[in-house]
Structure 1
Amino acid sequence: MALRRRIAALAAGVLAAPLLVVALPTSQAFAHGYVSSPPSRQAQCAKGTVSCGAVKYEPQSVEGPKGLRSCNGGVAGFADLNNDSKGWKVTSVGQTVTFNWVFTARHRTSNYEYYIGGKRVGFVDGKNQQPPASVSHTINLGGVTGQQKVLAIWNIGDTSNAFYACIDVNVS
């Protein structure tokens, strides 16, 4: 008799499992991404090029409200990204640079923006589409020369947040 009850309970569980999966609410996927090359500050942290705390383990998580102009996206735990004297590797580039984004989770994209010294030098419309696993943008830096910090921003299309990445370059 006990064996029959166990079999009946097992059968009920097997039959109910698919219904539970369909009936349970789903959580929204979180978007995550960063500029992998030229190496952004968080990419350098992840590779151990520069010691910079918790962002080493979450380079894709530099997320904050849209409209910020900070390397850390307003995340206090990633404050090292704002420190310009941290010893960031500077990449030599020309006037036109290809920035490569890597996404570990993808959201619809409003747009991408690129800034140097507070001036927007690049804009790419994301057409509110979900990006592929990686995206490249070729941006003209607008005639600046010398060592510069590029702020790259991925504005999400279906949330009020954006992802931030700073890239240190020497423009010839």
Structure 2
Amino acid sequence: MRRKITSVLVGLGVLGGTLIGATGSAQGHGYADSAVSRQKLCATGTVQNCGQIQWEPESVEGLKGFPGGGPADGQICAGGNGRFSELDDPRGGAWPAASLASGQSHTFNWRIKVRHATADFRYYITKDGYDPAKPLTRADLEPQPFLTVPFGGARPPATVTHTGTLPRKSGRHLILGVWTIADTANAFYSCSDVRF
């Protein structure tokens, strides 16, 4: 009996190691959950067929420097990370959209799993006429963030909230949150589909 239990435990350990090796780092970082992000919708099972992001919603990490640098157009929501390309799939414009009030105050919320030294958090929104049935590009976004929260290299707490005034918009849009890390070449990206 003891041999069978040991064999099962060893097998589970090998399987777990294989899964970690196949998906990269098991360590996560952070994501937005208000307005609800695509990665959270996948992690909670609200949206199906999400691939690996359903197990790693906090791992959408890519090069920083957005919008001048960072992920390529069409790969922004996944941070340029091919493992999470399902986040860049517009799904025909059918991602669930959070209802927001145009021009009103909104509190954005991030869940932080690894507290990196932080340069800032920035929030961009799509231009009027945005087509949610196409992958996100820089040309779809207003050129300047509507909210920037500087951190000066400080490490954020496990839950970070930022309150700001939403732009005056109507209809369906996308909010891109960018958490820029101070002491690495990377940032974390989070796309939230919204309706005003």
Which category of TM-score, normalised to the shorter sequence, fits these structures? 0.7 to 0.9
Calculate percent identity across the aligned residue pairs.
42
- Report the number of matched residues: 142
Matches within 5 A, 1:44-55: 44-51=41-48, 52-55=50-53
> Counterpart of 2:170?
145
**Is contact 1:31-1:106 (8 Å) kept?**
no
Show structure 2 runs of 5+ residues with no match: 1-26, 127-140
State which of 124, 130, 153 in structure 1 corresponds to 2:155. Answer: 130
Q: Which amino acid aligns with 2:41?
A: Q
> Counterpart of 2:96?
89
SS in 2 for 1:77: helix
Distance 1:161 1:134 in 2: 20
In terms of Rg, which structure is larger? 1
State which of 36, 53, 59 in structure 1 corresponds to 2:33. Answer: 36
CA RMSD of aligned residues (A): 1.5
* Residue 73 (structure 1) aligned with residue 98 (structure 2): no
User: How far is 1:99 from its partner?
Assistant: 1.0
SS in 2 for 1:128: coil
Distance 1:82 1:155 in 2: 20
Segment of structure 1 superposing worse, 158-167 or 85-94:
85-94
Residues 83-125 of structure 1, C-alpha deviation per residue, up to 9 Å, x if partnerless? 2226321110113321100011111110011111222211110
Show structure 1 runs of 5+ residues with no match: 1-29
> Counterpart of 1:166?
191
Residues 142-163 of structure 1, C-alpha deviation per residue, up to 9 Å, x if partnerless? 2122111000000001111000
Q: Which amino acid aligns with 2:111?
A: V
SS in 2 for 1:127: coil
Higher strand share goes to which structure? Answer: 1
> Counterpart of 1:5?
none
**Is contact 1:31-1:107 (8 Å) kept?**
no
Query: TM-score, structure 2 length as denominator?
Result: 0.69
